[in-house]
Every structure is written in C-alpha cells, then in structure tokens.
Amino acid sequence: MSDQKKVSIEDVARRAKVSITTVSRVINNVSTVSKKNRIKVEEAIAHLKYKPNVNAQNLARGTNNAIGLVIPGYPGIFHSFYAIELIRGVGHACEANKLDLVFHITNGFNPINTNSVGGIVFADIIENRKQVEQAVAQGTPCAIINNHVDDLDVSYIAINNKFGGEQAADYLASLGHTRIATITGQLGTQAGADRLEGFKQCLAKKKTALPDEYIVQGDYSRRSAREGAEKLLALKDKPTAVFVASDDMALEVMATFMEKGLKVPEDISIIGFDDNPACLYAPVSLTTIKQPLFEIAEEAVKTLIDMISEKRPDHLQKTVKPELVVRESCAAPKK
C-alpha cells in the first residue's frame, strides 16, 4: 500500500542549495559538514517534512535492518504472559541495536516470508518446525527460543534448568529443611532431567540426605502431580518441603495437600518452576523458579545478530539462568 511522501533528498538539497551528498551527510551525522550548511539542511528537512526513504537507504547500503519474530497465532498462545515477555525482550533488544522488528503471527503452516528480514527469532516452536526448516533452507539465520533443535543449522537459547533445580534445593535448604522431596517433570525431556539433576547435585553438595522415595517421577501432568503428592504423604518419614518441576503440577500438589488437611507452608513447603501467572491466584501464592523470558529473548537477538554479521558462522547454544521468586508457599519447617 502506498508511497512515502514524495519529498526526496533532492528536494531538500535544492531548497538548502547544497548537493544531495551534503544532505545525506547531515542525515547520517557525518561530521564533515559546515555548521552553516548543516543548519540550512536541517531547516529544509523540517520545512519539507522530509523523511529518508528507508528502502533506498538499505538498498544503497546493502543492508537489511530488520529481524523477524515468529509467534504462533492461536488464541491463548502458550500463556499470553509467555508471549508478552518474549515480545518485550526481543523488542527491547532490537531497539538497543537499532533494528526493526517485524512480526509474524503465524498459524504454524504458511511459510513465513523471510524476504524482508536478515534473521528470525522463533518464540518457541510447537507445531511449526516446518517453518524453521524452510527459513533455514532459504539461508535465513534462525534463533530458537526454549527449544533444543540439534539437527538443523540454527541457534537456540534455552533456560539453564539445572541451575534452576539447584536454586530450588538451595532455597529450601536455606530455610532449614532437611527432608526435601521432589516431584519431577517428564525425565525424557531435557528440562525435566536437568531440573532433577540440579536439585540432586545441590543437596549432595550440602550433604543433605535424599532417600530414593523422596524422588517421585511425574510427567508434567496434573494427574501425576496428584499421585506424587499422595505417595509423599504416604511415607512414614514425610518430607517437610517439596520441589515440583512445574507450577502447574505444584498447584495440583498444593491442592492435594490442602485436601488432606495439611497447611501450606506451615506443614509443608512447596516450590514450583516457571512463574506461571496462575501462581498468584493460588490459595497460597506459589514460590517458584522463574524463567527469565525477557533475558532469553534478548540473548536470542544478540545471537542472531552475531549470526547475521557472520561473526559466528556456525550456530550456537546459549543458556540463561532462572531466578527464584519468593512468595508464600515456603517457610521454615516446624520444629
């Protein structure tokens, strides 16, 4: 649709009675312009409401000044919270790097138009792996957030789940707990395994005992969370605190405990993972390990910039540390 205003650099030059080169110089802040001319040009620009034509600039410079962000478009994108944080992070990074951010809300199927961008950030990939493949096939640098993709020439930026597990354990221990259990996520997933790994390592480091029955396998489902909670409750030597591998599960665990008459956090502490907004609406607001979405997004952009500028010809993996968010579901154990 439609044209920029018809004022061109030539019009400005004419009015200011200088060459277009000089105009170009003031536009680009080249220092070698006499004060007198600069002022004349600026006057002309203001008067004419001149705006440089970005397309011409980019063409002449041989650069493309934009990156794309692909977000699945179905309603309730993950959690809108997730998407917003990502958007904010990417947006911020783009602004800092003077990049245009072009947005692609996608249905997951249509190939996305990579022409106008120098690279693409995928805000996670759910069912849209095809799109990544197509972009890669076209030679477009891609960075993927929170998803490990090792068989494609792309970068990915993920959360340091192991560190998250460590933090959870460390926090609980620091509160004075010595009987700390965990209900894991699906251990087939990298995230699930890493969170458990970090948890175990931290406890080992602190020489806190971790009996086998304190490690209950879950699979991110609410059902598994409930079963896990019941198993823990059935133990003769009940834990006083439990690290649950996702907030969603943690909320179910909390509900289960409460139904059995336990008080959270007085009788038992719970810490989750994700910082799902639902944490705030729980009967007792949930302490959790927050995925630093904003920072991840920034990292992704930086990575992409590196790829585009070919400082990093090959793709790479980065991780970002999660962060403890203290709310009300954890307390010191009762004596």
Partner DNA sequence: CTGAAAGCGCTAACAA
Partner DNA sequence: TTGTTAGCGCTTTCAG
Residues near DNA, by CB under 7 A = 6, 8-10, 18-22, 24-25, 27-28, 31-34, 36-37, 50, 52-53, 56-57, 59-62
Q: Say which entry of a second copy, DNA, none residue 100 contacts (CB below 5 to 8 A, set by partner kind).
A: a second copy
Which partner, a second copy, DNA, none, binds residue 174 by CB below 5 to 8 Å per kind? none
The nearest distance, CB 52 to a second copy, in angstroms, is: 6
Which residue, 18 or 229, has its beta carbon nearer to DNA?
A: 18
Name the DSSP letter for residue 95: H
List CB contacts of 48: < 8 A, sequence separation 6 or more.
7, 11, 12, 15
CA–CA distance, 308 with 257 (Å, rounded to integer): 51
CB 11, min distance to DNA, A: 8
Q: How far is the CB of 2 from DNA (least distance, A)?
A: 12
Residue in 303, 262, 301 with CA at minimum distance from that of residue 283: 262
Angle, helices 20-27/35-48, rounded to nearest 10 degrees: 90
Size of the chain, expressed as the number of residues it contains: 335
Q: Which is nearer to DNA, 52 or 108 (CB)?
A: 52
CA distances from 305 to 142, 156, 245, 292 (A): 10, 13, 33, 20
Nearer to a second copy, 37 or 52 (CB): 52
Q: Is 296 helix (H, G, I), strand (E, B) or coil?
A: helix
Q: Which is nearer to DNA, 38 or 302 (CB)?
A: 38
In the list DNA, a second copy, none, the entry touching 104 (Cβ below 5 to 8 angstroms by class) is a second copy
Nearer to a second copy, 79 or 334 (CB): 79
Nearest C-alpha neighbor of 269 from the set 184, 202, 334, 189? 334
Residues that bind a second copy (CB under 8 A): 1-5, 49, 51-56, 58-59, 62-66, 69, 71, 73, 75, 77, 80-81, 83-84, 87-88, 91-92, 94-95, 97, 99-105, 114-116, 118, 137-139, 281, 305, 308-310
Minimal distance in Å, beta carbon 1 to a second copy? Answer: 5
31 binds, among DNA, a second copy, none (CB under 5 to 8 A by kind): DNA
Q: Is residue 175 within 8 Å of residue 330, measured between CB atoms? A: yes
Half-sphere exposure for 64 (CA within 13 Å, toward CB) = 17
Please state the closest distance from residue 305 (CB atom) to a second copy, in A: 5
What whole-number distance in Å separates Cα of residue 5 and Cα of residue 7?
A: 6
